[in-house]
A and B are shown apart, each in its own frame.
Chain A
Amino acid sequence: MTTARAAATLLVKELRLEFRTRELLNTTIVFALVVVVLFSFAFDPTAVESRRYGPGLLWIAFLFAGSLMLHPSFAREQSNQTLDALRMAPMSPFSILLGKMLANLIFLSLSELILVPVFAVLYNVSLAGVVGRLALVLVLGTTGIVIAGTVFSAIASHARMRELLLPLLLLPILAPLLIAAVEATASLFAEQPGLDSTWLAFLAGFDIVFLTASWLLSDFLLEE
């Protein structure tokens, strides 16, 4: 099987598994919502303040949600040794990784799709006119979270205390992504919204570097 076809097969399997119960999506969305609501107690959510803190709040919520949501990606393959079955299937390790990355990208994007409008309403941020550009920033940022997160989910799944370990590995490494995504989002929330292309390029660069590294290292990541 080619990498793309194998990844697509795995993606379908992941989606089917998730949409049977929707437990991952439900918990992620509610968790992110709790984070967004709690932030309203940490500062006064007026329109001016929200413009200043909103982008950071939003991305911190996505990062936390991602670091929790990505953990089951490989951990649930452990309980019935299904990861061994995947390894034995005629597909490259990278296509396993890619299939899971795509599935996680869909899950996290769906959560964001619900969370962003709620955030806009709760924090008085006007999204009219910037939806398309905001979507671009969200896709590039989420892709970065998901690439690194899926790889580290595979690493953490073999360790003890893996639920705690994944955020510990993932969050510091995403620091540059957080800065770039927050700055790009802030440029869209400003009174005169204009997309800062430097940060957009930085996000794209981050995604490319991490995807290339995970492609090169996928054999070692999933070895027996």
Chain B
Amino acid sequence: MKTRIPITVLIAALMFFAGYAALFIAPDESTMHQIQRVFYFHLSSWMAMFSALSLAFLANVAWLVTRNPKWDWLGVASVEVGVVSCTAGLITGVLWGRPAWGIWWTWDARLTTAFILWLLYISYLLLRGLIEEPQRRASLSAVFGIFAFLDAPLVYFSNRLWRTQHPSPVILGGQNSGLDPTMGKVLLVCMVAVMGVMILVLIDRYRLERLRHELDELRLAADARAANPNSAVTKGAL
């Protein structure tokens, strides 16, 4: 707990610096100029979303295999962080699309995949809210989470076969691709900052879920004791 405050301050400072770097340090882009600066946070948000949702998938599988409630807490925490990063990615993308493409939105493979993923994981969170029993909620949402994750590549490839407009990757995109070295450094700072925020929120959300679980167990034990004060079993539970 003692290290939490300095780490939070450190990441907040890094985030401020990343914002400053993206706006003032990174060189001007030759065709898109100022609007390109949103890209540093756009790409970082997608990195965060991809990591969070992959983590959620692993947590879902791990819950089904081990039945350790920790994996369920990790699953819901990372889905929530993934949905938030996805929202950030969608909003920064829309803001960029209007000046660069002349339209706010287009049904391109990447955009559509992101949007469908956003809808699917919102449904995941809704599903969790609508199932009472903790065990069942964990199992069924894990099964749904696995299906949602499997669906992502299918959504991507179907849209890619169909229609696509998103710029192809500039980094590692073959010959004549690549980023200006200063741009690369700014991007790295932004990525580290955004991932830092993501991990921080994830840890907090995980802790909250654990506390909720403990509270539920205490409540159940208290209810059982109130209903049956002389039972040996319930006495042991409290």
Contact = CB atoms under 8 A, between A and B. Distances in A.
Nearest to A182: B162
Contacts of A158: 131, 133, 136, 140
B134 to A, nearest CB: 12
Interface in B112-160: 112, 116, 119-120, 123, 126-127, 130-133, 136, 139-140, 142-144, 146-148, 150-151, 154-155, 157-159
Contact of B143 (A160, A175, A221): A221
Interface stretch (A22-30, A117-125, A164-172): A164-172
Interface residues of A, number: 32
A204 to B, nearest CB: 12
Given A169-B144, A172-B116, A206-B154, 8 more contacts: A155-B143, A173-B151, A180-B158, A198-B161, A199-B161, A210-B147, A213-B147, A217-B143
Interface string A44-87: 00000000000000000000000000000000000000000000
Interface string A145-170: 00010011001101111100100110
Contacts of A205: 154
A158 B139 CA distance: 11
A176 interface: yes
Interface of A: 148, 151-152, 155-156, 158-162, 165, 168-169, 172-173, 175-176, 179-180, 183, 198-199, 202, 205-206, 209-210, 213, 217, 220-221, 223
A155 B140 contact: yes
Contacts of A221: 139-140, 143
Contacts of B146: 213, 217
Give chain B's interface residue range (CB within 8 Å of chain A): 20 to 34
A176 B157 CA distance: 8
Contacts of B154: 176, 205-206, 209
B123 A172 contact: yes
Nearest to A216: B146
B11 interface: no
Contacts of B132: 160
A172 B146 CA distance: 14
Nearest to B136: A158
Interface in B155-210: 155, 157-159, 161-162
B126 A176 contact: no
B64 interface: yes
A220 B147 contact: no
Nearest first, the 5 closest Cβ-Cβ pairs linking A and B are: A176-B158, A159-B130, A176-B154, A172-B119, A179-B158
A220 B159 contact: no
A205 B150 CA distance: 12
Given A151-B147, A155-B144, A179 B136 contact: no
Contacts of A169: 123, 127, 144
Nearest to A161: B130
29 contacts: A151-B147, A155-B144, A158-B136, A159-B127, A159-B130, A160-B130, A161-B130, A165-B127, A165-B130, A168-B123, A168-B126, A169-B144, A172-B116, A172-B120, A173-B148, A173-B151, A175-B112, A176-B155, A176-B157, A176-B158, A176-B159, A180-B158, A198-B161, A202-B158, A213-B147, A217-B146, A220-B139, A220-B143, A223-B139
